[in-house]
Amino acid sequence: MIRKPRGQVSRRAIGGYNLDEAADWTTEQSDELKKYIKHVVETELDCMLPFTRQPRNSIVSIREAALLRFPWLMNYTDLWVVNDLIRRRLQLRKSELRKRNEALLATEARARASRKSALEAAAVAV
């Protein structure tokens, strides 16, 4: 069994680890599993909530489905690689959603300012 390393995934600067190195899997295994986790996280979980706030049954369901699809995951104690991938995908997706929301808000603010300027200019012209 491959045990989870100390620290947090993708936090090498503060004692964490690189998941691909720690998991010791092939590029093909990594790509397939990451693609699968990305899909299920984005379709089955609320990406604005952290891992610890997700419904437990949803996490269990994803872990079980991943194990059925990728039997080699049984080599990892407590499926820590699946948990790490879910956590990481949630973090990344939340960041993407926040950036998209901020961009939309900025666009709306610019549009409001533009409309206000046009109305003020029209009022001055009258």
**For residue 64, is pLDDT > 70?**
yes
| pLDDT cut 90: percent of the chain above it | 56
Q: Contact at 8 Å (CB) between 7 and 17?
A: yes
Distance CA(26)–CA(48), nearest Å, equals 31
83 pLDDT exceeds 80? yes
Q: Is 82 exposed, middle or buried (0-12, 13-18, 19+ CB in 10 A)?
A: buried
In this model, does residue 105 exceed pLDDT 70?
no
pLDDT band at 114 (very low <50, low <70, confident <90, very high): confident
